[in-house]
Amino acid sequence: MPKPTPPTDALPLLLLVEDSQTTTVLLSKYLSGSYRLLHATDGVRAWSMLQENPNIELVITDIHMPHMTGHQLLVKIRKSDEERYQNLPVIVMTTAEDNVDRNLAFLNGANDFITKPIDEMEMQARVKVHHRLARTIRELEISRKALAEQATTDPLTKLKNRRAFFENGAKALAQARRYISDLSVILLDIDFFKKINDSYGHQTGDEVLILVSHILSSMARTEDTVARIGGEEFALLLPDTNRLGTAVLAERIRVAIEREKFIVGDKVVPVTVSIGIASFGVDPADSIDHLLSVADTRLYLAKNGGRNRICVNDDGKATFA
């Protein structure tokens, strides 16, 4: 029984760059059964189509074309900062005796070449091999990124975890030192969290952690790092933020959590947080661990002062709720 023909939209997308109508017709005939083909007559149009169509999985290009040659197109692809071009397979078409162009194509990053006049079976085989290899590499890269994301993400709240916070913090501190810029941290702890777990159950406790994480994420900037670094403990890493700006944000966070209605069944669970802050350049700190330790001391002072408040220095006098 013959295999069903896959729908056209499910076929891999290839880009053919060729100014010869005869060659274009031939290659379309050779490949159209297994691939979808886009066609450009020169490198300029091909480059535009690559940017417009992120689903292109392979490029077949001639060398000698108007406006932008195949060599120039290759160079643009390989020198691009966009990650998707790094493993994009490119097959170059050359004449049998054109060793100069063939060697230059390899130097510019071509994966393979095929000689004109083009043999149908050879073209199909080469495209199949390079397409499969590129797809395998892409799948491995996706898996690698997923594993890396898992290693730095808290599974419950989807925030960064303790490891990611310290990795990002070390980089941010090095940059703050280099450019003599501000860097601050906020450390916060949910007040009486054990009581919430004991009174309402661990599922409710998890829901409170998730809701707090959503509030923190919504109030942070793109360049900030928001992390869950302990059971009910969260930290924010704030590049280019001085102590005053950090104190203002910390108080906004405290108020937002205090005002949030955490509803469990027909009951409202009261949730508040205590917060300590520290700022590089103002507070003595030679590492991100040290800076967080300063914030931790102030978090303790905030709790000792009655909870549901922030503390910005070590004498405990600058606490407010």
Instruction: Confirm if 173 and 215 have CB atoms less than 8 A apart.
Output: no
- Active-site residue identified among 232, 251, 258, 260: 232
Which of 267, 266, 248 lies closest to 275 in space, CA to CA? Answer: 248
Q: Using the 8-state DSSP alphabet, how is residue 307 labeled?
A: S
What share of residues in the chain are helix, strand, coil (percent, to 5)?
50, 20, 30
Location of structure tokens 């330790």: 293
Is the four-CA dihedral 26, 29, 34, 40 of positive or negative sign? Answer: positive
Plot region of 253 (φ>0 → left; ψ -120 to 50 → alpha; else → beta): alpha
Question: In this structure, what are the phi and psi dihedrals at residue 183, rounded to the nearest 5 degrees?
Answer: -155, 130
Location of structure tokens 């199949």: 128
Strands (E) across the chain are located at: 13-17, 36-40, 56-62, 90-95, 112-116, 183-190, 225-228, 233-239, 262-264, 267-269, 273-279, 310-311, 319-320
**How far is the C-alpha of 116 from the C-alpha of 90, rounded, in Å?**
16
What are the C-alpha distances in Å from 222 to residues 29, 164, 242, 288?
48, 15, 17, 20
Instruction: Confirm if 130 and 111 have CB atoms less than 8 A apart.
Output: yes
| HSE (side-chain half, CA atoms, 13 Å) at 203 | 3
232 is known as an active-site residue: yes
Instruction: Confirm if 79 and 37 have CB atoms less than 8 A apart.
Output: no
Instruction: Give catalytic residue positions.
Output: 232
